[in-house]
A and B are shown apart, each in its own frame.
Chain A
Amino acid sequence: MASQVILPKLTYEMEEGRILEWLCTEGQPVAKGQNLFVVETDKAAMEVPAEVEGTLLKILAPAGTTVAVSKPVAWIGAAGEAVVEIQGAEAPATPVRPAAAEVSAEPPAAPAKPSDDGVLASPLAKRLARELGVDLRALQRTMGAEKRIRESDVQAFAAAQIRVAAPSPAPASHITPEPTARVQQASPAAEFELLQLSPVQRSMAAHLAQAVTIPTFAASCEVDLSNLERFRENLLPQWEKVYGFRLTYTHILAALVARALEACPMLNTSWSAEGIRRHRDVNLCVAMASERGLVVPVVKRANQLSLLQVATEVARLRKGAESKRLAAQDLQDGTFTLTNVGMLGITLSIPVINPPQSGILAVGARRQQLALQDGLIKPVPVATITLVADHRVVDGAMSAEFLRRVKEWMENPWPLLLEKPAGGA
């Protein structure tokens, strides 16, 4: 019975070899241990002997061919024996051993952050500056370029900023009946209570102050809420039964504003000196009240989510806001803001833009209005929706188009229940 001659593994790293020369010819009898061929490995040329005695029936890999380790190169058997070309009788493939994993219990190295150009500050100082809204560049200027900013420097600078910002106590009036002309410095205990600013308040104040630099304009229109109310009332009992939570107007508004933004991409933008950034995703900020005050968490990719997904996410974020457990990513990368001030009974609101976004939409409270419908005077529930937009990016026509679409969705919300077609973005 003929047996295969395979290319053996001759060195540690050998994976293949090039046959340089056959030392025997087909039909020649060979003895066990007799050298059959010479192969070039990664290290050197080596001779390979026959493992069995017999006749070299057939050479499968002639000189010059490169063969993988364990692959057949010839057949040895009895003289005149036929060689069956069994393709399947090959040595099993070399199992791939995974490379040894790096044994490391340490956390991976943090990516290098770009330096603050000329700011020399300790890691602690940088973190504190972020939290307190301190401008490190300004602080560096006061200290001199070669001095390192430390925690105490940031604390001192932040305290000084508050003193500058706080109103100086009013000098006593000259008309007072007090005989002394001495200016009375009002003591804090007498005239006002000083509420210390929390880091959140400081940073929000700093953040919103930037909004003053944006040239904005406001546009509003009135929306008939009849269908929206009917839509919600119809869904409400089943929704709660099936999904376990109450469907709110904010949920519905978030879903439809996201779709309106998808159709009006210029409202989903940010102005920058290099150009207007038109964001790929609609990351909708939804204003919420919490114990800490106003929180504005983000529903990521809201335009791609169904009504159920938006509602679920808004409910999750509200829960996070109430229990003070919002993650950093829940508060970042928003592209537009929705604020349902109607919940608080406010009929008209002209909100402040959330920089670097280009727009913010306020939805006012429901109120009854008399309207003429089919020749009859009827009470109709309406609300005013107000858009405040960055005029560098958004013009009157764009704002009108956006408001029109929001109004359209609010006045006919049923298509919200349609699934997004697969593959669409």
Chain B
Amino acid sequence: MTMREITYRDALGEALHEEMARDERVIVLGEDVYGGPCGYQGCFGVTRSVVQDYADRLLDTPIAEQVIVGAAIGAAMCGMRPVAEIMYEDFVALAMDMLVNTAAKTHFMTGGTICVPMVLRAAGGATSIGPQHSQMWTSWFMHVPGLYVVLPSTPYDAKGLLKTAMRKNSPVVFIEHKKLYNFKGLVPEEEYLIPFGQANTLRPGKDVTLIAMGYMLHLAQQVVDKLRERDVSVELIDPRTLCPLDVESMVQSVRKTHKCVVVAEDVRTAGPTAEIAAAIAENAFEYLDAPIGRVGARQAFIAHNKGMADYVLPDAARIEQAVQHVLDWS
């Protein structure tokens, strides 16, 4: 395997390019996904990678989220393999009906005769643009039967998971993180896919299991390094896909470490951490030596002001505090 360092953005772009080369039925619909030679070529530049070879398959749409997602559904039902790009995860709310009532349910409602092989990509997470442009809504999608939910945290994961998503025959909600587009990481040159439902254990450990996703994984890494200096061995796990969720790996880890903390950028209440914590408690109850800790955003909004936003969002300090809490619990 030849590894090279590329950005999260370019890893996604490579995935798109490879899959578009492989299957001519793949198209991308979204606002400003092309815009011509001097256009945006993707609000976050992801589609830039395919402009040279596949500009004719990048369809710039009006600002109309319902029809962006709905047309992707209709085209998918008739044999295409569309990727719908919604600029900010917050805007997916506009297309929730299409996603939840049509995309997710069509295969079932048609008695299994029609599939909806589409990917909905959106950029989530907070970056000081204010309350309506900062959300992570992972739970909303996890809660809907019939939707795959993917949260890549690294360039390696982004490419492998997007390729898999584009080959699935059911709708996939693929949430990228705005802060990660410029993040660099090692990605093989050779083709590879990452299957859904496989959590990634980044660091083995024996004292506590730390489960973190998306941008939070990077904050969690900092905490793991810091605690290692104090001789605390933390096992770090990234679920990567929230549906299907690899509960088994996380339970195996907790059976070993007996303590667990789950971290997500989403609001803590009814966040993905709640489902994961409950699943672990159900399956590893008699192995737990402390209650399962959960870290998430406070039940409030992400302000434009950075201090206010940081107060609400989880950070490395709060993650460390949560880990220390389960270690010391008595």
Residues of A in contact with B (beta carbons under 8 Å apart): 103, 106-107, 110, 122-127, 147-148, 150-151
Contacts and interface: CB of A to CB of B under 8 A. Distances in A.
A150 B291 CA distance: 12
B286 A123 contact: yes
Nearest to A121: B289
A106 B288 contact: no
Interface residues of B, number: 13
A123 B282 CA distance: 12
A151 B289 contact: yes
B327 to A, nearest CB: 11
Nearest to A152: B289
A146 to B, nearest CB: 9
Given A106-B279, A124-B258, A150 B330 contact: yes
Given A147-B330, A148-B329, A150-B330, A124 B286 contact: yes
A124 B292 CA distance: 13
20 contacts: A103-B145, A106-B282, A107-B283, A110-B285, A122-B288, A122-B289, A122-B290, A123-B285, A123-B286, A123-B287, A123-B288, A123-B289, A124-B288, A125-B289, A147-B330, A150-B289, A150-B290, A150-B329, A150-B330, A151-B258
A107 B289 contact: no
Contacts of A126: 286
Interface string B262-306: 000000000000000001001101111110000000000000000
Q: Would you call the interface of chain A mostly helix, strand, loop, or mixed?
A: loop
Given A122-B289, A124-B258, A150-B289, 7 more contacts: A103-B145, A106-B279, A107-B282, A110-B285, A123-B285, A127-B286, A150-B329
Interface of B: 145, 258, 279, 282-283, 285-290, 329-330
B330 A124 contact: no
B291 to A, nearest CB: 8
Contacts of A123: 285-289
Contacts of B330: 147-148, 150
A154 to B, nearest CB: 10
A267 to B, nearest CB: 37
Nearest to B279: A106
A148 B328 CA distance: 11
A93 B145 CA distance: 34
A147 B290 CA distance: 13
Nearest to A150: B289
Nearest to A148: B330
A124 B282 contact: no
Contacts of B288: 122-124
B208 to A, nearest CB: 13
A125 B258 CA distance: 10
Which of A103, A110, A123, A151 has most B Cβ within 10 Å?
A123
* Interface hub of B145, B279, B283, B290 (most chain A Cβ within 10 A): B290
A125 B290 CA distance: 10
A106 B279 CA distance: 8
Contacts of B283: 107
A336 B285 CA distance: 34
Contacts of A148: 329-330
Considering residues A106, A107, A124, which has the most beta carbons from chain B within 10 angstroms of its beta carbon? Answer: A124
Contacts of B285: 110, 123
